[in-house]
Amino acid sequence: MSKKGLQNIITVLRILPGIMFVCSAVLKLISLDSFEIYLYSFGLFDFVITALSARLLIAAEFVIGCFLILKLHYRFAWTATLLVLCAFTVFLVYVMMFREDDNCYCFGDIIKLKPEESIIKNIITIFLLIITRKEKSHEYRHKILITNVITILSIIIPFFIMPADALYNMIYSRERKLNNEVFRKTFLEDEKKELITIVSTEQDLPDIVIDSTSLYIQGKKMMIFIAPGCKFCMTGMKKINMMTENLNINKNDIKIIAFGHEKSIAGFIKETGSDSYEYWRITPPEAIDICLGRFPTFIFMENDSITGVYDYRQIDDKIMTAHLK
């Protein structure tokens, strides 16, 4: 094989890890909420730090990937890629041994890989890096400008276009509102509500029974208003699942208020793994009027007083602890 042909092969082998890292960053960004919840499930940090860490990881992967593809600061990019892959592999071995995750979120929830599959991917990528270890950086005329553009883009997109909850609340969020009059009429004046009892979870959809009974709010409680088919409601519910486990919050203090057909609610329960919570059903007009059409809405109460109203991006460990502990 000619020297030029061999160099072309080396170039392709060098670009492949870069493409993989860029794709990993982009796909994680597309499914950012799910990726945040996955990282939070390990219980290492509170949700704000977890959200910031997820974005730092995405930014780092994007920068490293672009540097590899462009042969920009190649020795730094090569070393950083090798270290990251080794760290990821150790992490994946831990996940494979001590957890039963169907998806390690290396490519978000768009392309699902089991931990053992991702370990194989990492080993192959490390092998490609070893082959291309002698490559040299390309000396671009505007090297500093290109470096700055890539770095700035990697920070702006995850941190400002798709900001972490703490930044979102400071930059974008307005005070969460609800129709207090309709809420009080529905829950504090009307006596009977529809309680959803989960009889069995062994079927494809949970088997539920609906009874008319009274809903009493005593002590510190949280009410979550959801629409069963709402993607953000599912994400919010999964987020609450992780927080109740990590913060040791009593699930009996959380009431899920839903509307819609029984099968839709059963599907929501299965998708979010929230069969251990108390579900109540109200009519669509009541739900829409109370939340002003915005779902999910999280309402904290103490006896018959509302102590806080939030959306799913505003909920964090401190808020949960302040209102329910």
- Give the 3-state secondary structure of 215-245: CCCCCEEEEEEECCCCHHHHHHHHHHHHHHH
Tell me how far apart the alpha carbons of residues 91 and 102 are, in angstroms, rounded to a whole number: 15
Is residue 170's pLDDT more than 60?
Answer: no
Chain-centroid distance of CA 23 in Å reads 18
| Tokens found for residue 26 | 């982009």
Tell me how far apart the alpha carbons of residues 17 and 317 are, in angstroms, rounded to a whole number: 37
What domains can you pick out in the chain, each with its CATH number?
3-171 (no CATH), 180-324 (3.40.30.10)
Least confident span in 96-100, 122-126, 187-191, 310-314: 187-191
Residue pair 215/195 in contact (Cβ under 8 Å)? The answer is yes
DSSP state of 157: I
pLDDT mean over 221-233: 88
Tell me how far apart the alpha carbons of residues 310 and 47 are, in angstroms, rounded to a whole number: 15
Is residue 192's pLDDT more than 80?
Answer: no
What is the residue-averaged pLDDT of the chain? 86
Instruction: Give 187 or 120, the one with higher predicted confidence.
Output: 120
Is the pTM higher than 0.85? The answer reads: no
Is residue 107's pLDDT more than 60?
Answer: yes
Tell me how far apart the alpha carbons of residues 39 and 249 are, in angstroms, rounded to a whole number: 19
Is residue 215's pLDDT more than 90?
Answer: no
Strand (E) or helix (H) holding 202: none
| Tokens found for residue 296 | 């999910």
User: In angstroms, what CA-CA distances link 106 with 26, 59, 102, 201, 269?
Assistant: 11, 14, 12, 30, 26
47 φ, ψ to 5°?
-70, -35
Question: What pLDDT does residue 34 have?
Answer: 83
Q: Which of 269, 239, 263 is nearest to 36 (CA)?
A: 239
204: left (phi over 0), alpha (psi -120 to 50) or beta: alpha
Tell me how far apart the alpha carbons of residues 30 and 15 are, in angstroms, rounded to a whole number: 22
Tens-digit pLDDT profile for residues 260-272: 888 888 889 988 9
pLDDT mean over 237-250: 92
Work out the number of other CB atoms within 10 angstroms of the CB of residue 38.
21
**Residue the block writes with tokens 């009410």:** 223
Angle, helices 231-246/262-272, rounded to nearest 10 degrees: 50
Tell me how far apart the alpha carbons of residues 113 and 283 are, in angstroms, rounded to a whole number: 40
